[in-house]
Structure 1
Amino acid sequence: MIFDRAFKKILTLSSKAVTNMINGLFSTNYDPDTATISYHWTEHQADSTLKATLADTILILNNKDAYHMEAQITEDQEIIFRVFSYGYGYADVNKEAIPADDTAHPNFVLHFPNPCIIFLGDVSSKVPDKYNLQLDFGDQKIYTYTVPTVKLADISAQELNNRKMVILIPFHLLKLRKLMAKNRSHDTICSLKKLVETDILGSIETNQQLGNITPSDAHQLISLTKKLYSYLYETYTESEEVHDMIDQSLELESDELVLKMQALEEKLKELNIKTAEVDAANAKLESTQAKLNSTQAELDSAQAKLSDAESEITRLKKELEQAKR
């Protein structure tokens, strides 16, 4: 179950990281900076046994396009039926009614999500590049439901980076599981160390620097690497050095996050100070403006009184002249 939980964990990383992975898996071109992701967690009935299944790996991008990613550790000939069942459950919940011109009853459309099976571990060449399921509708037609497969162990770290699918990189730890169980030689331990240090931790750091994942994504991926490593190799005392290396990387990543948080807090303080200064300046300006308005009102009043006085003087002069006559 640890691999199932780990896979579900990576699907809840930042929308940027998950969108990049979907683009890499399905050859799509969603904008990772603007794409929105929602999750289909709805429980539905999967088969005639009425056993409830949870389709919790179906993601909806931009409230429109659905993608179903099913993770596997080992080969499973029955997985095509499970993927179809999950897909049908999603389509049934989200069926679309289209008005028909010639009848009062609408036509319904079932929109299946785009499926993909990801084999996280090292599987044999017998696993096909795609699974096909024949759907026989009797006299109507036979349709083929196709689900492509991705064999993660066959994809190099460099290719994962090129396709911006780095959030899958912690599962590369499975590459050496069988070899470690058979032969824990010095060369094998060196290979494990290189796998962790260069392929996994190095890829996470590089993708963070490139902006393909967020700092929080990077921290969670390193933490996930540590958990998977502990599960797979902790019983091997020869690998303690590699375990310590992951711990140190996690500590460094935590320290970096703390420093970034402190830097942001300092910037926030500076911004608050500047905002307070601007507010004080605005308040002073408003006060000055109020005084100017008051002075202008007094000036207008004095001007009015002066005009009245001038009018009165003019009137009195006229009366005086008339009196002299």
Structure 2
Amino acid sequence: MDEEKHNKELLKEQVKGNENKDKVKLDIVLKYLFSTSEKVLIKLLNGVFNENFNVDEVKISVSNNEFVDSDLNIIRGDVFFNMLNQDDSKVNYHIEFQTKNDNTMVIRMFEYGFNKGKEDLNTNNQNKNTQDDMKTIYFPRQRVIFFEENREIEDILKLRIIFSDNQKIIYTVPVMKYWEYTDEELIEKKMYPLLPLQLFNLRKELDKAQRKNDINRIKELSLQARGIASKIAKESQELLQENEILHQDFHKMLLAIQNLIEYLNRNYFKDERIEEEVITMTKTLYDPEVEKKGIEKGIEKGIEKGMEKAIGLMLKKGMDAETIAETLEVSLDEVNKVKNRKQ
């Protein structure tokens, strides 16, 4: 009996370990999707926070997400960004990813926000331009993105804070309910990196089918996953062709699709063919784009070399730089660069 009990405990730990691995895997995919190019990230933040930043007028950078609490423990938020305007003013943004409902989420958001504000107060001296000497902590603009549908999740997380003198404040964090967005709506709001997560919307139905041991339903959802993966990949390719995303963004989105299919297959489908099909499909879409990019670069280099040769020959014949620039419809700087190299 003791041995049987021990084996059950081991199995329980193994299952728990696998669940943790899956959570880590999803976290990695999410953070990976938030490491896309600068212009794509700015558009994404515009969509998530209802902002209207011009990609040519601001700079975005990932900022520190680790803080030390009063017990010297490390607390980690998901992603923090700095948005720097042309006038050097800065706005902080903070996004947390949450798969399931969590009643402690608002408290953790307050901790993250307070620590980020305290960090900026210490490092940037944000109050140097104020009229008084009162220290001020600026919380970042915050959002929690919930991915798994749950009726109990409110549109805004709220926390009432009451001080000893009965002063009260209500701290709030808006919520984005991912499951309410279709792929078309994500594209319309330019939240492109979130497109692959459409696959994650299947998880709730898959959990239900798995609990009922409904094999036919799982097969139906497997076919649905194939369809979603193909549609999202092709939509991503169209965004690339429209210059809405870069090649590096396209590659990351395709890899995210592959990883999410792998996650769903390992946990629900148990069908090796689906992973092979999706990998083949994404490779078929990606490889021609890489080849096309290489051809375009080759053409550009060829044109550049041909122009340099023409300028060189005209210089050799004794033509002046202004005449060459006018004849070839190039800038005077380009002619002078070739001229300087020849000397």
What is the match of residue 61 of structure 1? 83
Match for 1:267 among 277, 300, 314? Answer: 300
Instruction: Determine the C-alpha separation between the residues in 2 that align with 1:100 and 1:125.
Output: 44
Unaligned runs of 5+ in 1: 289-325
1:204 aligns with 2:227: no
What is the match of residue 97 of structure 1? 127
Matching of residues 32-43 of structure 1 within 5 Å: 32-41=55-64, 43=66
1:59 touches 1:68 (CA, 8 Å); kept in 2? Answer: yes
Determine which structure has more spread, i.e. the larger CA radius of gyration.
1
Deviation at 1:241, TM superposition (A): 4.0
Deviation at 1:52, TM superposition (A): 1.2
What is the match of residue 332 of structure 2? none
CA RMSD of aligned residues (A): 2.5
Deviation at 1:132, TM superposition (A): 0.6
2:155 touches 2:174 (CA, 8 Å); kept in 1? Answer: yes
What is the match of residue 163 of structure 1? 189
What is the match of residue 50 of structure 1? 72
TM norm structure 2: 0.74
1:45 touches 1:52 (CA, 8 Å); kept in 2? Answer: yes
Deviation at 1:99, TM superposition (A): 6.6
Q: Deviations over 1:63-106 (max 9, x none)?
A: 5111100001111111112111111111111122347767xxx2
Match for 1:131 among 153, 157, 164? Answer: 157
What is the match of residue 220 of structure 2? 187
Query: Percent identity, aligned pairs only?
Result: 22
Name which of structure 1's ranges 268-277 and 18-27 shifts more when overlaid on structure 2.
268-277
2:78 touches 2:95 (CA, 8 Å); kept in 1? Answer: no
Name which of structure 1's ranges 257-266 and 24-33 shifts more when overlaid on structure 2.
257-266
Counterpart AA for 1:285: G
Unaligned runs of 5+ in 2: 1-23, 322-343
Deviation at 1:222, TM superposition (A): 0.5
1:251 aligns with 2:284: yes
Q: Deviations over 1:1-35 (max 9, x none)?
A: 11111121122111111111111111110113443
Matching of residues 106-117 of structure 1 within 5 Å: 106-117=133-144
Instruction: Determine the C-alpha separation between the residues in 1 that align with 2:131 and 2:247.
Output: 54
1:15 touches 1:35 (CA, 8 Å); kept in 2? Answer: no
Matched pairs, number:
282
Runs of 4+ in 1 over 3 A off after TM superposition: 98-102
Counterpart AA for 2:137: L
Deviation at 1:243, TM superposition (A): 4.5
What is the match of residue 87 of structure 1? 113
Counterpart AA for 1:49: D
Q: Deviations over 1:118-156 (max 9, x none)?
A: 112x23100111101122233373111111111212211
Q: Give 3-state SS (helix, strand or coil) of 1:133's partner.
A: strand
Instruction: Determine the C-alpha separation between the residues in 1 that align with 2:42 and 2:320.
Output: 52
Deviation at 1:112, TM superposition (A): 0.8
- The change in CA–CA distance for 1:239 and 1:130 in structure 2 (over 3 A counts) is farther
What is the match of residue 281 of structure 1? 314
1:172 aligns with 2:194: no
What is the match of residue 291 of structure 1? none
